[in-house]
Structure 1
């Protein structure tokens, strides 16, 4: 390429490069302007399209006072009025079983029969011994009667008469002993028939016909339960017992127990037993190993719905003329503590712990932590945090009480 051609090429290429550079500069300048405008617009109008949401509108209810009844619940075990272990008094083979497991029997009804042949032989032997002893008594009596006139006429010495009388006394004693053996044999024969000492229900029968049974066996023949009434046993801690004593009037424990209203029994499926019971006794001392004291409540059970071995819960009522109450829907729990969100100044909410003295269906009875008239969030507490602002939507506590009475 010659010099002229090179110069003309350079001259023609330079304006094109200038134009490209100018175009790139305009593009970059436009981008910068857009970014600046967006930044200015964002800072000038906060919350426009991307700001914080408005405060939530939540129902709020005022804490109120109302009369009501609360319940304290205690785990309980049930036992029949009488639980009798049926055990054999003599050893032998089980000849007959007259009842089945779970059957209802009346007092005096036969339950089991033990083979009595051995004891019948013992009775026969004892009766024979008794006859022999009675014959010896008669023989001794004859001897005494024979010697008396001889002594009176001084034919023989009085010593012989005394010896005869001593022999008579010994024969009498032997006869009484033989009579006792007869009685013992008859008792053993009676023991071969085992009857029900009380009316009730038969439990499990671990033995079958032909089994060898006796007094040395660990297991009884069966367990007979009189469940016309059942006893519910439950316990209180020392602190609960002190509170219990303070609730009811009276100078003694017996007087206080008489003032306790009828108690309820919650069954294992959380249903309530149809009849109320009465606390009938309190143990005389605390159990040192558990630190609790035992109570017994008695329930009528004419229909036999309750059985020994059942479990449940005893509910002891406590009546309040005026109690601070809050709906359970307004509460939440953290680590076994109950809280509510109280509405303060400027409609800011703050969580508050409360102490509950009892509960009914849908309501908590508050011992401390809230005062009548305070406003709390009724629903939606799960999305709140301390210090948040809400828009209260008041609802009436009276309407809630009508919907869910205490």
Structure 2
């Protein structure tokens, strides 16, 4: 019996020793996906909300009093410069033309009669039959009649101009807007409502704004000593339409305000886009997409980062496969999956890409190859 108890005690002691040994043995490092940061050329872009206006947006107003007698166009119609849009009924201007024409005939007859008098008196003066005073008087009368004729011709020209205003023509190529006034409406030069508007959309202006920070980023890497020189070196910009599609023609940023508005804290820019098909319309909205190229961009997945007290950090793998938290400055991309590292990391550094919530500084890990989507995210061309 005693021998059995002794054997049992020895066996239990060995089990306790094995258990203690197992507890004292260090745990194997846990495996984490790790990528090596590499510099690569990358194209990025920034989208800015924009509103569009035609190259010209001309209000069509009457220049005379009268009634709208005929409307030759409809809303949304494409018109050419010089095309008749409206006809205004104003018989008084036709009468003024006829009156001016009659006045010219009278004035011309007076000129002829005065010229005949000069021709009659002149030889008599030369022969000293009558005094020189008579000739001077006849010549002054002729000059007066000639002035009256010139005035009558000016009156006719003015009457013809007013008569031409009865036909309202388009001053530019463009698209007809609303037609608020209908046939029979009484109009005058003082009418507050225009007959219509003609939007010249051969070129379309896209207006957009940049705040102070965006303005600094916008021009940081642009060459040139003056604002116009910098604008001239900018690459062509794209226009993202309201449905998310990209307009087929490239545009250029041509003008920029020299001041930042104290009310909005932003500066205004204008990009010009050709519109040969008339696809773009005044008043529509979109986004101006400004692209740029970065020769050596350091890309990391967004999920490899975390925020702490307003700072963005990553876990960098250092000597001995231990990790330490490193603060970084990043530029977000619009794909929602990756960041461009601007400060805090360099090419060749290794960072943990997944499972970082369980990590702490100085924890040893076992680096592993990342998932395919992580490597693709870091290698893909990104857009801001």
TM-score of the aligned structures, taking structure 2 as reference length? 0.79
Matched, 1:368 2:343: yes
**Residue 62 (structure 2) aligned to one of 88, 103, 116:** 88
Shift of 1:384: 5.8
Q: How many equivalent residue pairs?
A: 353
Pick from 342, 348, 355: which aligns with 2:315? 342
Preserved contact between residue 177 and residue 198 of structure 2 (Cα < 8 Å) = yes
* Partner of residue 164 from structure 1, selected from 122, 135, 138: 138
| Residues in 2 aligned to 1:259 and 1:188: alpha-carbon distance in whole angstroms | 50
| Structure of larger gyration radius | 1
Match of 1:279 among 253, 257, 269: 253
Query: How is 1:287-306 mapped onto 2 (pairs within 5 angstroms)?
Result: 287=261, 289-306=263-280
Matched, 1:67 2:41: yes
Name the residue aligned to 1:12: none
Q: Which residue number in structure 1 is paired with residue 4 of structure 2?
A: none
Take 2:352 and 2:67, find their aligned partners in 1: how far apart are those partners? 75
> Structure 1: any 5+ residue segments left out of the alignment?
1-44, 46-53
Q: Distance in 2 between matches of 1:295 and 1:338?
A: 32
Mapped pair 1:247 → 2:229: no
Q: Aligned partners of 2:282, 2:311: CA distance in 1, in Å?
A: 37
- Aligned equivalent of 1:225: 199
The answer to whether the 8 A contact 1:331-1:338 is kept is no
Q: What is the correspondence of 1:326-405 to structure 2 with a 5 Å cutoff?
A: 326-331=300-305, 339-343=312-316, 350=325, 352=327, 354-356=329-331, 359=333, 361=335, 362-379=337-354, 394-395=369-370, 399-401=375-377, 404-405=380-381
1:141 maps to 2:141: no
Cα displacement string for residues 304-350 of structure 1 (whole angstroms, at most 9, x for unaligned residues): 22111122222221211111112234456789x67354256786675
Q: CA deviation at 1:181?
A: 0.9
Query: Structure 1 residue 107: deviation in Å?
Result: 2.2
Provide, for residues 209-246 of structure 1, a one-character-per-residue CA deviation record: whole Å limited to 9, x for no partner.
11112221223211112222212222334554444444
In structure 1, C-alpha distance between the alignment counterparts of 2:233 and 2:36, rounded to whole Å: 34
Gaps of 5+ in 2: 1-19, 21-27
What is the Cα-based RMSD across aligned positions, in Å? 3.4
State the 1:149 CA deviation: 2.5
How far does residue 172 in structure 1 lie from its aligned partner after superposition?
0.9
What is aligned with 1:214? Answer: 188
CA distance in 2, matches of 1:157, 1:215: 57
How is 1:39-54 mapped onto 2 (pairs within 5 angstroms)? Answer: none
**Which residue of structure 2 lines up, in the alignment, with residue 33 of structure 1?**
none
Counterpart in 1 of 2:235?
A: 261
> Would you say the 8 A contact 1:350–1:385 is kept in 2?
no
Matches within 5 A, 1:93-242: 93-242=67-216
Alpha-carbon contact 2:205-2:272 (below 8 Å) kept: yes
CA distance in structure 2 between the aligned counterparts of 1:338 and 1:194, rounded to whole angstroms: 65
Q: Measure the CA separation in 1 of the matches of 2:276 and 2:308.
A: 45
Rate the CA distance shift 1:55–1:101 in 2: closer, same or farther, 3 A: farther
Q: Would the alpha carbon gap of residues 83 and 379 (structure 1) be closer, same or farther in structure 2, given more than 3 Å must change?
A: farther
